[in-house]
């Protein structure tokens, strides 16, 4: 009886939004992903760590079909994106917000134009409606009233926030963050971490965060995945990560701690 209740409770909590199965990708001779298997659950904040160049950004890009695998598949809410038509893939992408590594804002556009870009291009919303949504998202990331500024007028932290406002402009179910705190000072990094937590709670989004910042892991993760050798080497809670005796993980954590 008890066991049955436990099983049901767990299966209710863990709804798989994304399933990554045996994903393989090489660029020429460079074998980057050698068989990634990973489930990402609805509503969780999964943080992905691993050495520079191990394939974290490449993995994120596969999740929304910006890169296609040589083998294996990504399944979103039960459907493989690798056998979808362009139109179907486009519809799936609307469920996602992507914060690219580096802010990737368009310098020639204002903050308002940057944040409202996807709404202008992909919806039938009027300019007034777009302005209202942009104002609301800028408010959410703590930058109200910056609509007329240009990326060149913004600090690094502000640019990240504007990129985040852009990533959430379409009310995504899942936000993919690629190095959201890299290049920021500790205070600004903390602010961004707070924002990631707030968005997860307020918007009930699923969050996948790639980071080098080990403090962020402890701050925001409900679960951690570590990549090594083109595969997922470890998954567990932040507590399990801290307590592991695995030499590979300990070496990685010690090096990362020293860098900070
Ligand atoms: N479009 C591409 N064409 C060729 N090689 C690529 C391409 N994208 C990534 N790579 C290579 O794949 C490997 C993994 O790159 P990736 O950007 O995923 O690393 P990362 O883990 O995100 O590193 P970092 O922590 O420094 O951001 C690297 O060797 C990179 O040079
Ligand atoms: Mg990267």
Residue whose C-alpha is closest to residue 202's, from 137, 145, 158, 144 = 137
Tokens representing residue 22 in the block: 């045996």
Ligand sitting nearest the alpha carbon of 25: 1
Judged by DSSP in three states, 66 sits in coil
Q: Which residues contact 242 (CB under 8 A, 6 or more apart)?
A: 218, 253
Ligand sitting nearest the alpha carbon of 177: 2
Instruction: Tell me the per-residue pLDDT of 28-44, one tens digit each, with 9 for 90 and over.
Output: 999 999 999 999 999 99
The pocket around ligand 1, CB under 6 angstroms, is made up of 27, 30, 32, 50, 52-58, 101
Q: What is the predicted pLDDT for the residue at 247?
A: 93
- The residue ranges of the chain whose pLDDT is under 50 are 1-12, 258-260
Atom 20 (ligand 1) nearest CA: 53
Atom 28 (ligand 1) nearest CA: 53
The dihedral formed by the CA atoms of 81, 83, 87 and 90, expressed in degrees to the nearest 10: 20
Identify whether the C-beta of residue 169 lies closer than 8 Å to the C-beta of residue 130. no
Residue with tokens 């469920």: 95
- For residue 204, the number of C-alpha atoms closer than 13 Å in the C-beta half-sphere is 1
- Measure 53 CA to ligand 1 centroid, in angstroms: 5
Q: Which fold has domain 16-95+172-259?
A: Rossmann fold (3.40.50)
- Measure 99 CA to ligand 1 centroid, in angstroms: 16
Q: Which ligand 1 atom is nearest residue 212's CA?
A: 25
CA angle 63, 67, 72 (to 5 degrees): 65
- Measure 211 CA to ligand 1 centroid, in angstroms: 14
Beta-strand pair 71-76/45-49 = unpaired
CA torsion through residues 13, 177, 62, 228, sign: negative
Q: Which residues have their alpha-adjacent CB atom under 5 A from ion ligand 2?
A: 57, 101
Rounded CA separation 167/249 (Å) = 31
Beta-strand pair 79-80/71-76 = antiparallel
Q: What is the predicted pLDDT for the residue at 257?
A: 57
Tokens representing residue 161 in the block: 């926030």
Q: What is the predicted pLDDT for the residue at 13?
A: 63
Residue with tokens 């909590």: 13
End-to-end CA separation in angstroms for the chain: 49
Atom 6 (ligand 1) nearest CA: 27
* Ligand 1 pocket: which of 55, 183, 229, 259 to mutate (most atoms within 8 A of CB): 55
Atom 18 (ligand 1) nearest CA: 55
Q: What is the predicted pLDDT for the residue at 186?
A: 85
Element counts in the chain: helices (H) and strands (E): 10, 10
Rounded CA separation 117/188 (Å) = 26
Q: Delimit the domains of the chain by residue range.
A: 16-95+172-259
Instruction: Tell me the per-residue pLDDT of 98-112, one tens digit each, with 9 for 90 and over.
Output: 988 776 899 999 999
- What one-character DSSP code corresponds to residue 168? T
Q: What is the predicted pLDDT for the residue at 1?
A: 42
Atom 27 (ligand 1) nearest CA: 52
């Amino acid at each position: 009886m008890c066991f049955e209740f436990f099983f049901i409770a767990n299966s209710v909590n863990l709804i798989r939004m994304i399933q990554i199965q045996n994903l393989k990708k090489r660029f020429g001779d460079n074998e980057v992903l050698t068989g990634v298997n990973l489930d990402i659950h609805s509503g969780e904040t999964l943080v992905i760590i691993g050495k520079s160049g191990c394939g974290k950004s490449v993995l994120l890009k596969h999740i929304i079909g910006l890169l296609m695998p040589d083998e294996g598949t990504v399944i979103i809410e039960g459907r493989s994106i690798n056998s979808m038509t362009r139109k179907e893939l486009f519809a799936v992408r609307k469920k996602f917000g992507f914060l690219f590594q580096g802010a990737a804002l368009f310098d020639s556009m204002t903050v308002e134009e940057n944040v409202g870009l996807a709404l202008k291009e992909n919806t039938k919303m009027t300019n007034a409606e777009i302005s209202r949504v942009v104002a609301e998202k800028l408010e959410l990331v703590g930058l109200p009233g910056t609509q007329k500024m240009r990326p060149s007028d913004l600090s690094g932290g502000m640019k990240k926030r504007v990129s985040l406002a852009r990533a959430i402009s379409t009310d995504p179910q899942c936000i993919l963050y690629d190095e959201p705190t890299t290049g920021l000072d500790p205070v600004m990094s903390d602010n961004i971490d707070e924002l990631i937590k707030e968005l997860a709670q307020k918007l009930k989004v699923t969050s996948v965060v790639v980071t080098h910042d080990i403090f962020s892991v402890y701050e925001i993760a409900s679960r951690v995945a570590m990549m090594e050798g083109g595969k997922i080497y470890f998954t567990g809670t932040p507590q399990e990560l801290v307590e592991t005796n695995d030499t590979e993980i300990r070496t990685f954590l010690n090096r990362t701690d020293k860098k900070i």
